[in-house]
Amino acid sequence: MHATPESPAIVSPGALKTSFSIEPMSPVIGAEIGNIDLTQPLDDDQYAALRAALLKHKLLVFRDQDISAAQQVALAQRFGELEVHPVFPHHPDHPELVMLGGDSKIPGRENIYHSDVSWRALPSMGSMLRCIECPKVGGDTIWVNMAEAFARLPEATRNALEGLIAVHDLLPAFGTRMTPEERESRRAAFPPVMHPVVRTHPETGERVLYVNEAFTTHLANFIEKNEVRFGFDFRLAEMDLLQHLYRQAAVPEYQVRLKWRPNTIAFWDNRSTQHYAIQDYFPARRRMLRATIIGDAPV
């Protein structure tokens, strides 16, 4: 059944015990899922239908889900093994949950377009973020369909990107949170990694623009793929290209914007999206818990 904003589809694959509704949030990304109780474990049909919805819409939003930290971990684990983040503070009882958000003295710093942990050799498959506390006004999050961003690049640009390799690094974004000793130890544990500039989604086959301004530092093989006259041509041309690719995430036509409420859960596919947590509410508080599902090596 085709879903429209005016008439959301009901998904009932197989013998689904509790059908849920799917209401698209924008033409290109995002859907609100209704008529589902996430305090209860997902059965096989619900899991399969939600995974299919995630692949189609790339972002799933669930409202009014008053679940515990343990239930959030169990729900996220249904979709794969969870990582433990090496920098963010963790929930005291569940290290798989990172605690996000500043306070009245320290603002949050997630206001940059990024794909979670692209600096890992195995970046995440998806992230599941639950709102614990948020301001009445402000603190929205934007998600971007990066498959759409790639598809709508000019053909000549798409062709020029084939075979290019980007370097992703933990330290530029997180190094300021660390002591010199911590930076040294994190560098040893998490050296820069290389991923294709355009990755192929392992489940849908979509081609996805996979560089982000938070973690992508440079191109490993730009000079091999492009003719240059002088060294400064190479560096400036590489920087110009990267800046152009970064800016694709900021195109409103590829985006959806979510207004948070307590007990809202957002579940997104990190392989095909980027997101930006808007920091317009400081010194009000916004507290979140995030579980991140381990993915595979981009190809």
Reading the chain (299 residues) residue by residue, the pLDDT tens digits are 333 333 334 444 443 345 899 999 999 999 999 999 999 999 999 999 999 999 999 999 999 999 999 999 999 999 999 999 999 999 999 999 999 986 777 777 789 999 999 999 999 999 999 999 999 999 999 999 999 999 999 999 999 999 999 999 999 888 888 888 888 998 999 999 999 999 999 999 999 999 999 999 999 999 888 877 776 777 889 999 999 999 999 999 999 999 999 999 999 999 999 999 999 998 998 999 999 999 999 99
Tell me, yes or no, if the two domains 21-103+116-134+257-270+281-294 and 146-249 fold the same way. Answer: yes
For residue 13, CA distances in Å to 9, 20, 43, 183, 230 come to 12, 10, 12, 49, 59
Q: What is the largest CA-CA distance in the chain?
A: 65
Mind telling me the catalytic residues? Answer: 114, 116, 275, 290
Spatial distance between the Cα atoms of 25 and 215, rounded to a whole number of angstroms = 28
Spatial distance between the Cα atoms of 36 and 272, rounded to a whole number of angstroms = 25
Domain parsing of the chain, residue ranges: 21-103+116-134+257-270+281-294, 146-249
Q: What would the DSSP string read from start to end of 41-83?
A: PP-HHHHHHHHHHHHHHSEEEE-S----HHHHHHHHHTTSPBP
| Token pair recorded at residue 247 | 């800016």
DSSP H or E run through 277: strand 273-277
CATH fold of the domain at 146-249: Double-stranded beta-helix (3.60.130)
Spatial distance between the Cα atoms of 193 and 121, rounded to a whole number of angstroms = 6
CB atoms within 10 A of CB 86: 14
Chain position carrying tokens 């798989």: 96
8-state DSSP, 201: P
- Which CATH superfamily is 21-103+116-134+257-270+281-294 part of? Clavaminate synthase-like (3.60.130.10)
Write down the pTM of the prediction. Answer: 0.91
Chain position carrying tokens 């195995």: 122
Spatial distance between the Cα atoms of 226 and 249, rounded to a whole number of angstroms = 24
Amino acid 265 reads I
